[in-house]
Chain A
Amino acid sequence: MRKIRNLAMMLLALFVAQGVVAQSRTSSVVVTDSMTIKTVVTRIPKFTPKHDIRVGVGTLSLPTILMLDEGDYYEDVDRNFADQMANADTYRTARRFIGNYTLTYTYQDRRWLQYGGTVAFGASTRKRKDIHTHKEIENLDRYMLSVMPTVRFSWFYRERVQLYSAVSVALVTDFDGLYLWGDATLFGCAFGRKFFGFAEFGVGMSGWCRAGIGYKFNAVKKQK
């Protein structure tokens, strides 16, 4: 247990250190020709804090499968005779996962650090129908909603490209109970200036693979 905690602390320290490096980056360009060597040193302009809004869609993940796919075993166990009769001569359509949608807002006050929140909504659909008339008898859809405070660490920051990781603590409901879960973006990349697209790989409530679009804008007027 202690080893895992130490490893987690090391990873966190690595994220922060890389972020700090990204924050204090200076650029050195060496220009040469056959006769002269000229070194040009440029400083990155002062960072302006930004608002970052993203909408994305994610695939399944272990917690979303648990929330959205109840399985036959749980549904049919211990049903009494009256319930069996009520469900007789009916059938259930296939259960389909229709996506895991996220809306994220973060505030970026340093190059390497963003913090904010994510709301994720996932759903799977299934219906019980009459075997003769095919009319819907019961709605067996399942939904899941999670609210997650999010911290994102950029470990490569350019105006047009960012590589990052993120962690979130998730408060999840399947509209039947309330659970505590989590989400981690192991690797994420964003391309674009104001409007941008992003793709991520991670674990947790947002799915194994996520992609989407976003918009970021300065929180304060740019200083000249």
Chain B
Amino acid sequence: MRRYFSILMVALATTLLSACELESADIGPTSYAERLLWNRVADGLKVEHGYMQIVVDLNEIMINNNAYMATFGRLSSVSSEEGEYTLVYNISSYHKEIYSIQTGGKRLDEGAEWSLYAWEDNIGFSKQYIGTATGVEGQTNKFHFSSGNPTWSPYSFCVAQESDVEYVLNEGTRSCDLTMTNISGVSTDSAYSDYTIEYHSLQPILFKRAQIISGKMDILYKDLVRKSERATIVEVKNQIATYAENK
């Protein structure tokens, strides 16, 4: 009996030794889904903001006779031919970005419709459509910007967005404060993606020095494979985002 008891004890000890922890539990982050969604939408907004800045640059050149370029020095060169402007940005010593804007010979404050293109050189130089800026008559610092599923994107996702844009040049801080209102957009990976993120602004999104300072956004995520949805409202104040579930 003693023998079997000792055998049982050995087996029990072995089992206890065996029941060890291979990996510890996750510390579950809260609001992780909301942060994922907002980061994606914010990245898309920053991409759109970059395109809008190019429109702003040309608008300032046309209205204020290169004053904007002289003040901020972001552009390296501007040339025009039959109403089509080419803007070259020296991003670094070995990398430059070239954009082309077809103005039709009209300024934005004359109600013009400008088409923005990027010169893309990965597969040889070709012109890729990015979006359209539509001016408001009599308004020098306002336009409507529409981007539609750009085939060219330096990012791993694409955005189609409509918004009204207003900007103020701040020479003191050498920056451009840009406000997007009435934003309506869709962000996804590609045309064959298994999800979409639809977003609408509830309050204007304010950019300063290319950073989102404030705003409020309604975001709806749709998983097309799992047939699930998730909605959230993001409010940004002083660059800090807070999340609320939108039921």
Contacts and interface: CB of A to CB of B under 8 A. Distances in A.
A191 B157 CA distance: 67
Chain A CB within 10 A, most for which of B13, B23, B226 = B23
Contacts of B228: 86
A60 to B, nearest CB: 7
B22 A124 contact: yes
B3 interface: yes
B21 A94 contact: yes
A212 interface: yes
Contacts, number: 112
A210 interface: yes
A199 interface: yes
A131 B25 CA distance: 12
Contact of A197 (B10, B20, B40, B195): B10
A27 interface: no
Nearest to B28: A91
Interface stretch (B29-37, B97-105, B166-174): B29-37
A195 interface: yes
Contact of A93 (B4, B7, B25, B226): B25
Nearest to B5: A197
Interface residues of B, number: 41
Interface in B1-50: 3-4, 6-8, 10-11, 13-15, 17-33, 36-37, 40
B225 A82 contact: yes
B4 A195 contact: yes
Contact of A57 (B11, B28, B226): B11
B22 A88 contact: no
A115 B221 CA distance: 61
Contacts of A94: 21-25
B32 A89 contact: yes
A209 interface: yes
Contacts of B36: 81, 84-85, 88
B206 to A, nearest CB: 27
Contacts of A58: 14, 18
Contacts of A88: 32-33, 36
Given A59-B14, A85-B36, A131-B28, A96 B20 contact: yes
Instruction: Give the secondary structure class of B's interface.
Output: mixed
B110 interface: no
B10 A199 contact: yes
Contacts of B230: 85
A211 B22 contact: no
B137 interface: no
B20 A60 contact: yes
A57 B29 CA distance: 37
Contacts of A191: 3, 7
A98 B18 CA distance: 6
A211 B15 CA distance: 9
By Cβ-Cβ distance, the 8 closest A-B pairs, closest first, are A197-B7, A91-B28, A88-B33, A131-B28, A95-B23, A91-B26, A69-B22, A95-B22
Interface of B: 3-4, 6-8, 10-11, 13-15, 17-33, 36-37, 40, 157, 189, 193-195, 221, 223, 225-226, 228, 230
Given A97-B19, A99-B18, A209-B17, 10 more contacts: A56-B11, A58-B18, A72-B23, A82-B193, A92-B26, A94-B25, A192-B7, A199-B10, A209-B14, A212-B11
27 contacts: A57-B15, A60-B20, A81-B40, A81-B189, A82-B193, A82-B195, A88-B36, A89-B28, A89-B32, A90-B28, A91-B28, A95-B21, A95-B22, A95-B23, A96-B21, A97-B19, A98-B18, A98-B19, A99-B18, A124-B22, A131-B29, A191-B7, A192-B7, A197-B4, A197-B7, A211-B11, A212-B11
